[in-house]
Structure 1
């Protein structure tokens, strides 16, 4: 009986020891996957040296490993500022960034979680960087020089976040708005410019019409001068008679039955009438 109990007790002890070994084994190693970095803390104190991807040993029961995602993260952050001409300007930026794997230990010690990084580091620094970029130009320049505004913002934000172990990969301006007062001023300016352009167009059109009238007058005068010279020349009477007959035809009237030419050799214009008119 005692022998049977002793065997059972030894079996239980053996099973407990095996289970303890397995438990210690599971708690002695950690796997860091690709795109991650780990921070080892022993008794609540972060140890130097980030745990990069792979299998790592850690003291069982007294240590923990905080895993950070070091792939590209994207957050949209709003920002407000005043321009050089003291106009209110609001924007929303989409920021693509990642954590520096080598600096995750400092990030763990100073910022903690990713949510803290966004709310306590990225959002305030975005605000300050936008103020720096907006203060360099007027609100109109901020709209017309949007790419330059973004470049100044990128430079300021990159320099500010780099010291926190945050690498800015890209930013984009999701929205850029200005005060209602400036919006009305822009609209009024556009209307004034359209009216001015319309006035210039009307003036140019009038000038072209006047020049066309001048050209037509000059052409008519030149034609009359040439006609006068032709009439003065030998054979001019025939030309004049031909013109009279063609004018009659172009008027749509019936040619007269009688054509009388004065016996005076100096008279060049034919005298035309209908014989029916004479009979009356």
Structure 2
């Protein structure tokens, strides 16, 4: 008895059809996936058809696009912070390097213009050169010492310049600060010596004022004593002198020597009477 069984065989045609069906499903899924674009929170989608930027902006959320025609580029429109360094020369030709920081955001309504005109590397191509230019322009209007003593005014000048220039490119600056100013070691040494000299001069001036004040106080005291003595001399008339003598008399009458060596005891005579 033959117990062997014939196993069913898979034809090449069936295998080919299966692979073809799987490929179609994969392509369909890819097409479906690329048909829908999700614009993330804090971003805006710029649409480019065959590389040409369209006047169409996609807000946050899911959007359907033609994947064979359109590409969606997402731009961050939240407030961003960046730091930059700049080198310049002051009005008195002192070299100065500075480090600044600014907060900014991209205009959401002009995101397509920003991408078309500036691309995605706008920090390097636009913001950093504007910062460099603004520092050079401001530093040239102040001496090195004024850059230190008038720092708020310098900051305001640079801030206004940067804000105005970047606004032309639809980049809105919300805050700006100068983190540090650095000068040459020679200039720093000169500033330190000047501050020491000014401190010594101020100390000497304070000492002089103190001496003047103490001298004036002594003069006033001496004048007061002199005036008191003059007043006392004017008030010493005969009656006052007699009064002072009476106040000092101990009550004893004097003994007077007469002619021939006799003594007259006035107190005894007064007692006898």
Under TM normalisation by the shorter chain, which class is it?
A: 0.7 to 0.9
The answer to whether the 8 Å contact 1:42/1:62 transfers is yes
TM-score by length of 1: 0.73
1:41-52 alignment to 2 at 5 Å?
41-52=48-59
Q: What is the CA RMSD across the aligned residues, in angstroms?
A: 3.5
2:176 is aligned to: 171
* 2:105 aligned partner: 98
User: Is this contact kept in 2: 1:231–1:240, CA < 8 A?
Assistant: no
**Residue equivalent to 2:194:** 189
Asked if 1:213 corresponds to 2:226, the answer is no
Residue 204 of structure 1, CA deviation = 2.4
Uncovered stretches (5+) of structure 2, i.e. residues with no partner: 1-7, 257-273
Larger Rg: 2
Task: Determine the structure 2 residue equivalent to 1:272.
Answer: none
The match for 1:29 among 20, 23, 36 is 36
Counterpart position of 1:79: 86
Query: Structure 2: how far apart are the matches of 1:166 and 1:138?
Result: 31
Equivalent residue pairs, number:
249
Q: What TM-score do you get using the length of structure 2 for normalisation? A: 0.74
Alpha-carbon separation, structure 2, partners of 1:86 and 1:227:
73
Aligned to 1:269: none
Shift of 1:70: 1.2
Q: Gaps (5+ residues) in structure 1?
A: 246-257, 265-280
CA distance, structure 1, for counterparts of residue 62 and residue 101 of structure 2: 35
Structure 1 pair 223–170 and aligned structure 2 pair: CA distance change class (3 A): closer
- Aligned residue for 1:71, secondary structure, equals coil
Residues 149 and 101 of structure 1: is their aligned pair in 2 closer, same or farther, counting only changes over 3 Å? same
Runs (4 or more) in structure 1 with deviation over 4 Å come to: 4-19, 240-243, 258-264
How far, CA to CA, are the matches of 1:262 and 1:221 in structure 2? 38
